[in-house]
Structures are given as structure tokens and as C-alpha cells.
């Protein structure tokens, strides 16, 4: 009995080891934040359709073409025929690179009569690709001299053989049957180790196979059909399953797509898993309708009934999808442009996104608002609000952003340094305007949350991350003693004078100010209010000083302009000096920062100029120079499209 028990334990242990060793569900080192779609185009001139293109998205559903939907690699540089179709992209098992296989076929030039080979590509970075073309008829004439079609090659890693298996549909000239053949790729992925052999022969034939591994089972999706007396009566997406890539493959003869039997044919089925989700997406090409749709599943056997549509700014034909990291998305954008903004924003600690300001707005991959800036050790740091999403009808602001530059042209963005949710007391608010100031080696970020008050966060680095410094609001509406606005306690600006005294100004409709204690997290003394002749204050105060003169700039009226006043003391009296900046673009609000950097003064503001979707609730930060008159007054700011980065 003891011997039997020991044997059973050994068997169980070996089974566990076997499953762990040969599981195909690879754990890649990168956290995937988006998706890359490799495809060929279904619209435009026929001579440019059958070429490799890429598209990217953040959610697997809403796609954006790279390179303005022009090819990322031209087919005549990689194929024998001058065209490629059905590209399949795969991340290597060890995450060291990528493989693409594609049909070597140019139907625009040669029609559908014959193609005898495939294209194989490899890359270490998604941007630089080497290639080879494999002609089965020439390389393996004993078996494939009379091959008619070699279609839709794909690649999968075989953990038992520790090799990459390439499989594809074959049809011979003297046989109408469509079967799947396969061969292991050679070590440098330029061809096959041996002559391809039969892999899977569906009862009625099949094309466009795609294999995925889950829970010990290989799922083989393909376009199949049903025939009666040799005549096709139905077609659509089917699957076969196996415990091994070597088979046997068991067909279930069920149709998975919603269009089977409807007269609307589909092909080019491809399956991929959504990032951070149990769901799988089975997508397919409605090639007679010019649409791409999908159905979802969690177990790869049962799929949603109703098809869903992708949104896209292109018209893809048969392609495939892999997950990509934020770093990979940014690299793709540096080469071909077109990556949606949410994938460009760094998310992991230590990650960065570097970009060049091409004029105003300076940031075009996300909406930004309410700029504030400081200069620290030769670097200008820009802190902004973030209008989330785009096309918003109201303010939707959940976090703040931080950028830096040393030349006003080349910029670096850092991971989100501070979120509204970092303030436990700020439930239900919005991440309104704020300002960062450095003191005693620390950086203090004063933020506003609409009706919930002004908070302060602290960090040891300008890029953050920041944390709530006091666990409660620094100021609330109760401190706005003669205001009737429930949103009165917003838009803080901070300043440390030459004597080392810290000050904070804020407000909406009324402008308040108070001293700060040296610790920068407590109010020192009474709250006071500014008032002087001509002072029509709306919001957004900002303090700066030059040659012993203090400048109080602020938003006035609505839609807002920027006006300013001057004084010899931060406690006044203030003298109104007029309008500094007109209404900014199609934004009702305006919010400024004024900073001296490398002997020039800069005026930061926001407008609604970033399109599509820009406006009062979807704003963008701009920068122009600001100049002084001889008497110390300021010249009106001339807002430009060129900005300061190109000068």
C-alpha cells in the first residue's frame, strides 16, 4: 500500500512538471497596455492594397492606422510576387523578438490562378525587419511541383519540440481539397528545416487557420464548410481541438460566427486574448461587405451570439493581433506616428515618453489644461491638468500630468504623478488647476478639487510620485468668507518672496490670499481678500516677480481673457494694468502661468485647438513668449500656431 501511494505521488508530480514545462501560455516580461494589428488593406488602388500595414489600439476595439495607413514595408521589397496577404504576427516565446509570415501573392497583378510560396520576416524591435521568401514549388518539387495555392501562413511555438511551427493552407492543381500543411522553421527563421507535411485535413476542407492554446488544449480556428453530394451548402468559422500540435485534430462541425448560413461570407478568422481580461476576441473579415467584426468568449467553445464592430480609420483585410507594451507603442509611434495618445503616456515608474513640440498646442497626444511651471536646476517643469477622453461635454479630470524640457522644443513626459484618488477626502471632485513649488528640497503641489477644497501633496522629485501631505484640505469654502460660490475654493497659486515668506492665492469670483508657514502645509494667520479699482476677477490667479515688481495675472470675464495688475507688495495696493491675453481659441476658460527660463519669459495657457474633439472641456496647453515694456508693464501676448519650439 505504501509503495502504491509513493508511485501515485511520483506520477502526480511528473504530471505537474510535464504540464508546467509544456504549457503554451507564455508569461511575457512586459505588461501589455495595447495591441498591434498586422493587416493588408481592402480599399484604395489595387496595386497598393496587398502590402504590410500596422494599426494600434489601447482596448482591442478602437483601432488607428500607423503611417497614415501607408505600408510599413513595401511588398516588392520582401516578396517574389510583389504582394503579400494575410500577415500573421507572433511575439517570440522568450520575448526577444517577433515573427511575421504572410502569403506571397499579388492578385492585382497575377489574379488568383496560382501562388506557390510564403514570406517570412523577423525583427527584434517591431521596426527593423529582415525577410526571406520561400517558394514551395521550387524548394520541394518532389511534393509541391503542382501546388496551386499556399495561403495564410501562421506560426506557433511548439514547447515540446522547442521550435516554431509554421502552418498554412495548401491546394494542389489536380485536387480541389484545401488542407493544412506545416513545417518547423529553421533556426534563423528564413525557411523550413524539412519539407512540409500534412497537418490537418478537415472533412470538407479549410482555409485561414489560427491556433491558440488554453487549459491544455490547442484550439484550431479556420474557415470550414459543409457539403452535400459534393456541393457546398454552408460555410463559416469552425474549430478543431487537440492535446498536441501533432494532432489528431477533432472537428466539432459547429459554426461559431454569427453569419454562417446567412449568405454573408466571412474569412480570415483570428483569435487573440484581451489584456488583463479573461475574454478572447474571435475576429473575422466580412470581405464582401468591407467590414471587420468580432465575437467574444471566455472558454473558446462558447461565443457571444451577436457580432460587434471595430472602429477604425482604415479598411483591413485578413490580419492578426498581438499585445504590446507602452514602450513598444511609443517606439512604433516614433517611426510611423499614429499611435493613440493613451498608449503614449508612460505608466510604469521610470518609464518616459519623449516628443518634440511642433508648435501650439505643444502636447498633441492627450488633452492638457491649467498649466503651471517651475524652473529647477536648468530644467523647466510643466505641470498640467488632464481633460480625459476627448469630446467631453463637461469637465472630466481624474489626474494631473508632468513634463520637462531643457530647450522648449524637446519634451519628456513622466508617469502620472498625482491622481485625484490620492486624496481620500476628495471624493466626487475633479482634478482642477494647481501649482508646484520647491522649498527645502521638497516639491509641494497645491491642487483644487472644485467644491471640495484645496489640497497639498509632496514629493522628493519634481516628477513625483506625490502623496497627500496632510490627509485633509488645506483650504475649504469656509475660508472663502464672503463668497457665495460653492466652487470658490479653487485655482491655488503659490509664491515664496525674497524674505522666504510663502504665500498662497486662490479663488473664483473673489480672490483670496494668505501666508504659508515654512512647512508649506499650514496657513499662517488670517485669510484676506484682494480688491482694487478695475478688478474684475473670475479665477486662475498667478503671481510672478521681476525687478522688484509683483505681477498678479488672472482670468477675467467669460469667455475668459487674462488681465493683470502690479504692486510693490504682495499685500497691495494693486494697480490694474489691462488685458494681457485675449480669449484663447475655442475654449471658454483660460489659465496662465508666467515663468522666466534661460533669460526669456514665457506665457503658458490653454485653448481648445487640438482637433478633432477640442473645445472648452477638451483643452490643450500652448506657450508663447511674453515681453516687458520699458516701464515694467507687459505687452499683450500674441498667440501663435508656431509657438516657441521652432524659433
Catalytic residue positions?
A: 370, 539
132: closest CA among 154, 117, 116? 117
What the block records as the C-alpha cell of 163 is 521550435
End-to-end CA distance of the chain: 87
SS3 content of the chain, % helix, strand, coil (to 5): 10, 45, 45
Q: What count of residues does the chain have?
A: 647
Pairing of strands 561-567, 549-556: antiparallel
* Secondary structure E strands in 298-378: 308-309, 311-312, 320-325, 353-356, 369-376
Pairing of strands 163-172, 179-184: antiparallel
How many angstroms separate the CA atoms of 140 and 146, rounded? 10
How many angstroms separate the CA atoms of 103 and 38, rounded? 13
How many angstroms separate the CA atoms of 390 and 386, rounded? 10
How many angstroms separate the CA atoms of 354 and 220, rounded? 41
269: closest CA among 293, 300, 301, 304? 293
How many angstroms separate the CA atoms of 86 and 269, rounded? 10
In angstroms and rounded to an integer, the radius of gyration of the C-alpha atoms of the chain is 31
Give the DSSP letter string of 478-493.
GGSTT---TT-S---E
Give the DSSP letter string of 453-506.
-EEEEEESSTT---EESSSS-SB-GGGSTT---TT-S---EEEE-TTS-EEEEE
What the block records as the C-alpha cell of 299 is 472558454
Half-sphere CA count of 446, side-chain side, radius 13 A: 28
Pairing of strands 434-439, 32-39: unpaired
CB within 8 Å of 209: residues ≥ 6 apart: 152, 154, 167, 168, 169, 180, 200, 220, 221, 222
Amino acid at each position: 500500500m505504501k509503495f502504491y501511494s509513493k508511485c501515485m505521488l511520483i506520477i502526480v508530480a511528473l504530471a505537474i512538471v510535464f504540464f508546467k514545462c509544456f504549457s503554451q501560455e507564455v508569461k511575457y516580461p512586459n505588461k501589455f497596455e495595447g495591441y498591434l494589428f498586422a493587416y493588408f488593406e481592402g480599399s484604395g488602388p489595387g496595386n497598393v492594397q496587398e502590402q504590410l500595414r500596422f494599426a494600434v489600439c489601447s482596448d482591442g476595439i478602437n483601432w488607428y492606422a500607423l503611417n497614415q495607413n501607408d505600408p510599413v514595408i513595401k511588398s516588392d521589397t520582401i516578396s517574389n510576387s510583389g504582394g503579400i496577404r494575410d500577415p500573421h504576427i507572433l511575439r517570440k516565446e522568450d520575448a526577444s523578438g517577433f515573427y511575421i509570415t504572410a502569403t506571397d501573392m499579388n492578385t492585382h497583378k497575377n489574379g488568383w490562378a496560382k501562388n506557390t510560396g510564403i514570406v517570412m520576416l523577423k525583427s527584434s524591435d517591431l521596426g527593423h525587419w529582415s525577410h526571406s521568401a520561400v517558394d514551395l514549388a521550387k524548394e520541394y518539387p518532389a511534393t509541391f511541383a503542382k501546388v496551386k495555392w499556399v495561403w495564410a501562413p501562421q506560426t506557433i511555438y511548439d514547447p515540446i519540440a522547442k521550435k516554431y511551427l509554421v502552418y498554412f493552407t495548401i491546394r494542389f492543381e489536380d485536387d480541389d481539397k484545401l488542407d493544412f500543411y506545416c513545417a518547423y522553421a529553421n533556426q534563423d527563421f528564413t525557411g523550413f528545416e524539412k519539407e512540409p507535411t500534412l497537418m490537418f485535413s478537415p472533412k470538407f476542407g479549410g482555409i485561414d487557420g489560427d491556433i491558440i492554446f488554453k487549459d491544455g488544449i490547442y484550439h484550431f480556428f479556420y474557415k470550414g464548410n459543409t457539403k452535400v453530394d459534393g456541393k457546398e451548402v454552408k460555410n463559416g468559422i469552425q474549430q478543431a481541438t487537440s492535446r498536441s500540435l501533432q494532432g489528431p485534430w477533432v472537428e466539432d462541425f459547429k459554426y461559431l460566427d454569427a453569419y454562417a448560413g446567412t449568405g454573408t461570407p466571412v474569412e480570415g478568422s483570428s483569435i487573440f486574448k484581451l489584456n488583463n481580461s479573461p475574454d478572447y476576441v474571435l475576429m473575422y473579415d466580412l470581405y464582401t461587405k468591407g467590414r471587420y467584426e468580432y465575437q467574444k468568449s471566455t472558454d473558446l467553445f462558447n461565443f457571444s451570439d451577436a457580432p460587434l464592430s471595430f472602429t477604425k480609420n482604415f479598411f483591413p483585410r485578413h490580419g492578426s493581433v498581438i499585445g504590446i507594451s507602452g514602450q513598444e507603442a511609443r517606439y512604433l509611434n516614433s517611426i510611423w506616428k499614429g499611435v493613440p495618445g493613451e498608449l503614449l503616456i508612460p505608466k510604469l515608474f521610470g518609464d518616459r515618453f519623449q516628443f518634440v513640440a511642433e508648435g501650439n498646442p505643444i502636447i498633441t497626444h492627450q488633452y492638457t489644461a491649467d498649466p503651471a511651471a517651475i524652473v529647477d536646476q536648468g530644467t523647466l517643469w510643466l505641470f498640467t491638468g488632464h481633460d480625459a477622453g476627448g469630446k467631453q461635454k463637461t469637465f472630466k479630470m481624474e489626474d494631473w500630468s508632468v513634463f520637462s524640457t531643457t530647450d522648449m522644443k524637446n519634451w519628456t513626459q513622466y508617469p502620472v504623478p498625482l491622481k485625484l484618488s490620492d486624496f481620500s477626502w476628495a471624493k466626487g471632485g475633479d482634478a482642477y488647476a494647481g501649482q508646484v513649488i520647491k522649498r527645502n528640497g521638497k516639491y509641494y503641489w497645491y491642487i483644487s478639487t472644485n467644491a471640495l477644497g484645496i489640497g497639498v501633496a509632496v514629493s522628493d522629485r519634481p516628477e513625483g510620485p506625490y502623496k497627500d501631505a496632510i490627509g485633509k484640505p488645506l483650504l475649504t469654502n469656509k475660508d472663502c468668507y464672503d463668497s457665495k460660490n460653492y466652487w470658490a475654493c479653487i485655482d491655488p497659486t503659490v509664491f515664496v518672496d525674497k524674505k522666504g515668506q510663502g504665500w498662497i492665492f486662490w479663488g473664483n469670483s473673489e480672490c483670496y490670499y494668505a501666508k504659508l508657514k515654512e512647512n508649506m502645509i499650514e496657513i499662517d494667520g488670517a485669510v484676506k481678500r484682494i480688491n482694487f479699482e478695475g478688478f474684475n476677477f473670475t479665477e486662475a490667479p498667478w503671481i510672478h516677480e521681476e525687478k522688484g515688481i509683483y505681477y498678479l495675472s488672472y482670468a477675467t470675464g467669460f469667455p475668459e481673457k487674462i488681465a493683470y495688475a502690479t504692486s510693490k507688495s504682495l499685500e497691495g495696493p494693486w494697480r490694474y494694468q489691462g488685458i494681457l491675453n485675449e480669449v484663447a481659441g475655442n475654449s471658454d476658460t483660460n489659465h496662465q502661468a508666467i515663468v522666466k527660463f534661460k533669460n526669456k519669459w514665457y506665457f503658458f495657457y490653454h485653448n481648445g485647438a487640438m482637433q478633432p474633439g477640442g473645445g472648452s472641456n477638451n483643452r490643450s496647453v500652448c506657450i508663447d513668449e511674453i515681453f516687458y515694456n520699458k516701464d515694467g508693464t507687459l505687452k499683450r501676448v500674441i498667440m501663435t500656431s508656431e509657438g516657441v519650439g521652432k524659433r
